[in-house]
Amino acid sequence: MAFARACPRGQVARSSSAVGPRVGSTFRREPVQRRNRLTRSRDFDHVYRRGRSVSTRFLTLYWFDRDEPAGDPRLGLAVPREVGNAVVRNKIKRQLRELFRDRIERVASTHDYVLRVRAGLPEAAEANGHAWLVERVDEVFGKAGT
């Protein structure tokens, strides 16, 4: 019973993240809100079929203007398996969500966006750094005129 030795009687085992923030850690910003995400397959299909698109070497942006008079912009991320394994795909998705969160005030509020990652982006972002990835995202949104 390794667990019994690790936790004295009456105490509950917790992960280090459940205890609280570490001393000296950086401030963690809020994630992209649920209302700013595309999550359903039919929403993705709607943007793909009825929306417009622009492409760069590593990213393709699809967007569709919703009929709702007011709302928040929504982003969906499409990262196919050809990009890498699950760890690589999830890492690039986290980075792209953070970049979208920083640009959320600058994009049209009634649009739905799907950002599709092409093969090679994670390796190039790793080699060239965060600033390079920011430029690529700004480039694709700039081409879209949003």
pLDDT tens, residue by residue, 10-62: 555 554 445 444 444 454 555 556 677 888 899 899 999 999 999 999 999 99
Residue 91: its H or E element: helix 86-103
Would you say domain 33-144 falls under CATH 3.40.50.300?
no
d(CA 134, CA 128): 11
By C-alpha distance, which of 62, 56, 53 is closest to 114? 62
Element (H, E) at 6: helix 2-6
- What are 114's strand-pairing partners? 62, 76
| Predicted TM-score of the model (pTM) | 0.72
pLDDT digits (tens, 9 = 90+) for 87-120: 999 999 999 999 998 888 888 778 889 999 999 9
Cβ–Cβ under 8 Å, residues 90 and 55: no
Backbone angles phi, psi at 140, to 5 degrees: -70, -40
